[in-house]
Amino acid sequence: MELGAAQAREQVAEAARRLYERRLVVATSGNVSVRIGDGGLLAVTPSGVPYARMVASDVALVRLVDGAQVDGAWTPTSELPLHRAIYTARPDVMAVVHTHSLYATMLGITGRPLKPVHYAYGLLGDPVRTAPYVRYGTSALANEAVAGLGANGAVLLQNHGAVTVGADLEGAFERAEILEWLAALQMGAEAFGPSLVLSDAQMAEARVALAGYGPERRSE
Residue 174 is among the residues annotated as catalytic for this protein:
no
On whether the CB atoms of residues 67 and 40 are closer than 8 A, the answer is: no
Q: What CA–CA distance (Å, rounded) separates 131 from 110? A: 13
Residue 71, amino acid: D
Q: What CA–CA distance (Å, rounded) separates 121 from 117? A: 7
2, 14, 79, 216: which is the annotated catalytic residue? 79
Q: What CA–CA distance (Å, rounded) separates 209 from 79? A: 35
Residue 188, amino acid: G
On whether the CB atoms of residues 70 and 54 are closer than 8 A, the answer is: no
- Which positions are catalytic? 79
